[in-house]
Amino acid sequence: MAIDNTFFYTGAFWLLLASLAFEMIALITRRRGLHWVSMWLLLAAFVFETPGLILRSLEMNFVPITNTYEAVTFVGWVGALVIFLLDRKYRLEASVGFIALAAIVAIYAISSSPIVSKEVRPPIPALQSHWLVLHVTFAFVGEVFFIVSFATAMAYLFSKKEESRQRFDEMTYRSILLGFPFFTLGALVFGAIWAKYAWGRFWAWDPKETWSLITWLVYAGYLHSRYLMGWRGKKSIVFAIVGFAVMIFTFFGVNFLLAGLHSYQ
Amino acid sequence: MSKLLRFFRSIKLAVVLMILIAIVGALGTLVPQYQDTNFYLERYGTLGRVILWLQMDHYSNSVIFATLLVLFFLNTLVCTLWRVVKVWPEIFTLKSRGYQHSILVDLGLDEIEKELREKGFAVVREGNTIFARRGLLSKLSPDLIHLGILFAVVGGLVSGLTLHQEQYFMSPGDSVALNQATVTLLEFEMLTYPDGSPKDWISTVKVEDTLGERIYKVEVNKPADVAGGKLYQWSYMPDWKITLEFPELGYEYSGPAATILEYGGYQIYVYDFIPDFKISNGRVISASEEPLNPAVYLEYYQGDRRVARHWVFAFHEFPADPQDFPVTARLVSYQRSWKTGLMFVESRGDAFILIGLVVISIGSIGLLFPKFVKISVRETEGGCEAAIAHARKPKQEIEEILRR
């Protein structure tokens, strides 16, 4: 039986699910060892998906980031690595790991939807650009950090200890501070340069462009309010959650609900 | 004046403007843009009037949005200039300014100097005092992003004011004049993948100007520098040539559709060729670009009076209106070629925008660098005293820096 790229994507999804399950049990039982298992399963998901990405790239002769199936699985791949590395550096709590993983799994699960085609299709002419690759990969890395910031923000809201709350608040800030440069480069800078090459203008107020700018403004507002206005705690956390909601709408809502260059209509 | 400057320097203003721009932009994307006035009135009723009054039918060019962007630009400009004048000297000057909260450190000056150098600090030693700094790019990053935004906005404005954009559909052999050059299409290729989906569209053009004659290939994502601007592969369209036979008139026409013929005392209006005729929601459409149900619509006039109309199908008969009209028509053949869609864009602000984007990129990358720290250590009789600048928790941060 020939193994195609979807075998690896499907396998990675099951590993992500297993990682989520272990994290949930770690959260309930408060056993740190299970969180450790969850994180290594997460790394396994990243490693397992990699040959799928390579196979698909070879089949379509391009980086597989050109349709919904490829976008959500790519976010899963990046997300698995980023969350694993953040855990190594900051020793994430099980609550944070669980919420971040739940978000990543939910996004990845869209690849199983019957309305999402798994078919390998070579990119249309406008998508054949190195700038597109930079645009999408950097934006996705930024968005994964924003997912982590959402997880830490939610953990803040569920936490009762002041010490934990301070840590979650700080982690939310750090995640956004890390995600913001990637998102700026990917969504705005590289996107604008690609648009110039493809359509002859840097910016055209296409709905996706506008919503990317809105996402950027919300996170920029968060950083300004925190850095210069001294916002901490609940106000800052609500800001981060609003940012995440806007980001999710930019990622999915715009493509399906609003007409434009990034539309799937 | 100082009040005005304080207003535009306000970080609260920045946050409020960001929120307002986000709200107006978001609302704008929910409203279909650049439609006819009646479209908004019929679709939204009273709300349509509000949409039109607020110019949300073209929000990106609306007075409200433009005002917000201008205020945001001024806010960014004043904040950036203020930081350059007031904050940068403190950042760049190692020796005197900004130090706070000195504490005694249980280390010798030589040890501290070595420690700081190992941790990536730039260190200056003067007598019994050390000045050290790290993470300068990180500190300057927000300012660089602001500067980049200012460049990009100015570039966008200049670009918008000087933009010259034209679109052409051309067949091989067609020429257009662009500034001092003549551009002639030599060939248009449509490359496809094995499954038939589009792989690339390539127009080969000849450019003749005062420098001579040159050949360019213009592809999607690969514009050509032509006549002081850029030539883009922008679109394509089918170009149908049809043959119509009018047996009763003893007349045959071969050529493009959408034309007016004069023969046998009639003016015959030939409308667009429909390769795949279909009626959808009461309107005639072409279901595809393939000639699956080819048709063409004709109207016969004598003077100003329309005397007949006729849908002529290639694969089946359809009566004229009126049915006893003495002239019939047959769609004998149809042949498709493709026209390339080329777009010429010329604007003056692009260099500014590019500089802005590069500066924003440098600023963004800088945010990932270690946090800015400025520290001074002075050797006294009682030991070494360390002080730090711009720290929220000075004691803790000094200890962290000097911890082995």
Beta-carbon contacts of A160 under 8 Å, excluding residues fewer than 6 positions away, are none
Cβ distance A217 to B21 less than 8 Å, yes or no, reads yes
Q: How far apart are CA B334 and CA B275, in angstroms?
A: 9
- C-beta neighbour count of B85 within 10 angstroms: 9
pLDDT on residue B359 = 97
Angle at A211 between CA A206 and CA A216, to 5 degrees: 125
Q: How far apart are CA B39 and CA A128, in angstroms?
A: 37
Give me the helices (H) in B123-180, please: 136-162
Q: Is the ipTM of this complex over 0.95?
A: no
Cβ distance A125 to B367 less than 8 Å, yes or no, reads no
Residue A39 burial class via C-beta count within 10 angstroms: exposed 0-12, middle 13-18, buried 19 and up: buried
Q: How far apart are CA A158 and CA B218, in angstroms?
A: 57
Q: Is the bond preceding residue B322 a cis peptide, omega within 30 degrees? A: yes
Residue B404 clears pLDDT 60, i.e. is over it: no
Cβ distance A185 to B365 less than 8 Å, yes or no, reads yes
pLDDT on residue B174 = 95
| Contacts across the A-B interface (CB distance below 8 Å) | 114
Among A166, A177, A228, A249, pick the best mutation site for testing chain B contact (most B Cβ within 10 A).
A228
Nearest CB to B223; choose among A189, A197, A210: A197
> If residue B231 lies in a helix (H) or strand (E), which one and from where to where?
strand B229-246
Nearest CA-CA distance, residue B125 and chain A, Å = 32
Cβ distance B18 to A211 less than 8 Å, yes or no, reads no
For B303-394, where are the E strands, in sequence order? 305-313, 330-346, 373-380, 383-389
Question: How would you classify the pairing of strands B277-280 and B330-346?
Answer: unpaired
Q: What pLDDT, in 10s, does the model give residues B173-193?
A: 999 999 989 999 999 999 999
B227: left (phi over 0), alpha (psi -120 to 50) or beta: left
CATH class of B93-134+370-402: alpha beta
Q: What pLDDT, in 10s, does the model give residues B58-71?
A: 998 899 999 999 99
- Cβ contact B241:B337 at 8 Å: yes
Beta-carbon contacts of A28 under 8 Å, excluding residues fewer than 6 positions away, are none
- Cβ contact A178:A209 at 8 Å: no
Domain spans, chain B: 2-77, 93-134+370-402, 240-335
pLDDT band at B195 (very low <50, low <70, confident <90, very high): confident
Residue B100 clears pLDDT 80, i.e. is over it: no
Q: How far apart are CA B376 and CA B386, in angstroms?
A: 6
Fill in the DSSP letter of residue B281.
Answer: T
Residue A208 clears pLDDT 50, i.e. is over it: yes
Considering only alpha carbons, which residue of chain B is nearest residue A189? B357
Nearest CA-CA distance, residue A239 and chain B, Å = 11
Domain spans, chain A: 1-123, 158-265
